Amino acid sequence: MKRRIAEKKILSMLSTAVDNLEVDVWDKIVNSRKNGLEEIDSSYIESPKQTKMLVPGRIASIAVACVFMIVGIYAILNISGIIPIKNLNPNMYSGPFLAISEYDNRLFFQNFKDGRKLYSMDLDGNNILKISNESISNFIIYNDDIYCINSDNGKIAVLKTDGTHEKVLENTNANGNIAFFGDWIFYTANDGIYRIKSDGSYKEKISDVFAHTLCVYGENVYFSSSNENQEGLYKAGLDGKNVVRIYDKAVSSFSVYENNIYFSNIYDNYCLYGITTDGSKIEKLKSNGKDILISTGAFDIFNGEIYFINESFENTSYLVKMDLDTANLTKLAEIEATTIKVFEKNIYLYHPSYNGRLYRLSTYGNSLEEILSNKKE
């Protein structure tokens, strides 16, 4: 509600300022940032003054001021979450997210030190190999094949895990989400959700919803949208039929585990929520009576435990795991992370402030180790 009120106030201010040529509104909006957008009052805009003859110099000044005002307002709205980022999912936009996967005793990862190109290396950090010269936004591995999305043009390519036999599977406009189930590859595009046979022989559109998050679990596709008139968390069959909106608000990131969907609620300070896959029950999860804050919005679930960054311990950021049955928390390591990926033996952590460095922690909670430095290879 506050979000919509703030948005209406901002738009009203912009409209009135342009109509009345009040170029000092922008300064007042900037000054109000320290108190939050909700506190911007329309009374900041003065009443219309008597119309004056405008000379060319004043017209130019007003035009420039209006441009800066519009750009500035957009920036504030974007930062504050009123205008949603095109891809809310931390798995999709460059910087905060690092696409990563373990496969056949090697680690495959998106290398931000080299333009987000795909690399692999031994699990001990040795034998680093560039897999592809194309920049990627995401990838999946299945049966020794890597399916990846080109971050420059949205094309889906397939290649072997050693980097050979690379070919374009689909000339499309995929925007970063990709999943594999059976013989199908599911992906999101700017005009909806598609699935394509793994050999590229057949493609079909299964939804018109613009989704920023996608997950295939069991016999269903789950996806979330922040688009106006489409906002919500959805569930559909693998063919896109039997669509159900199980939650009426956008979800930035989520994970399906057994009969529940877990997500950090962007409308409630990124607290952890759970909702049944049929949407019949939603609850705010707690541990020892306290809210569970997913500080960076990133988390992963493995073997009944959820791993995330939490700042509840002495106002310091820690990697924490919580048992989904008992809600018991275990503090693992002091670190910030916008990517958390858990495998059977290892937890990988990445944060853009690490300048390309990647850290690993054993699932048994041993000390952190840096397995990828920020040195040029």
For 141-158, how does the pLDDT look when each residue is reduced to its tens digit (9 = 90+)? Answer: 999 999 999 999 999 999
What's residue 327's pLDDT? 95
DSSP character at residue 229: T
Q: Is 301 left (phi over 0), alpha (psi -120 to 50) or beta?
A: beta
* Structure-token pair, residue 90: 């931390």
Strands 339-342 and 329-334 come out as unpaired
Long-range contacts of 341-350 (CB under 8 A, 24+ apart): 341/100, 341/101, 341/300, 342/300, 342/301, 342/302, 342/307, 343/102, 343/302, 344/302, 346/102, 346/123, 347/307, 347/319, 348/98, 348/100, 348/107, 349/319, 350/97, 350/98, 350/100
Mean pLDDT of 66-78: 37
Q: Which amino acid is at 293?
A: L
Instruction: Quickly tell me which residue has 């591995």 as its tokens.
Output: 141
Q: How many CB atoms lie within 10 A of CB 282?
A: 15
17 phi, psi to nearest 5 deg: -65, -45
Q: Which amino acid is at 100?
A: I
CATH number of 282-377: 2.120.10.30
What's residue 374's pLDDT? 57
What's residue 313's pLDDT? 67
User: pLDDT tier at 47 (50, 70, 90 boundaries)?
Assistant: very low
For residues 267 and 251, give the distance between their C-alpha atoms in angstroms, rounded to a whole number: 9
DSSP character at residue 208: -
Share of the chain above pLDDT 70, in %: 72
376 phi, psi to nearest 5 deg: -65, 130
DSSP character at residue 46: P
Mean pLDDT of 238-247: 96
For 194-226, how does the pLDDT look when each residue is reduced to its tens digit (9 = 90+)? Answer: 999 999 999 999 999 999 899 999 999 999 999
* Structure-token pair, residue 329: 């928390």
Q: CA torsion angle for 326, 369, 110, 212 (degrees, to 10)?
A: 20
- Contact of 13 with 42, CB cutoff 8 Å: yes
Give bridge partners of residue 272 from the DSSP assignment.
264
Mean of the per-residue pLDDT values of the chain: 77
Asked whether the predicted pLDDT for residue 181 surpasses 90, the reply is: yes
State the span(s) of the chain assigned CATH 2.120.10.30: 282-377
For 313-358, how does the pLDDT look when each residue is reduced to its tens digit (9 = 90+)? Answer: 667 889 999 999 999 999 999 998 999 999 999 999 998 887 778 8
For residues 352 and 147, give the distance between their C-alpha atoms in angstroms, rounded to a whole number: 24
* Structure-token pair, residue 350: 């990445």
- Contact of 346 with 361, CB cutoff 8 Å: yes
Q: CA torsion angle for 185, 188, 194, 196 (degrees, to 10)?
A: -30
What's residue 52's pLDDT? 34
DSSP character at residue 96: T
- Contact of 161 with 141, CB cutoff 8 Å: yes
∠ CA(322), CA(328), CA(331), 5° rounding? 60
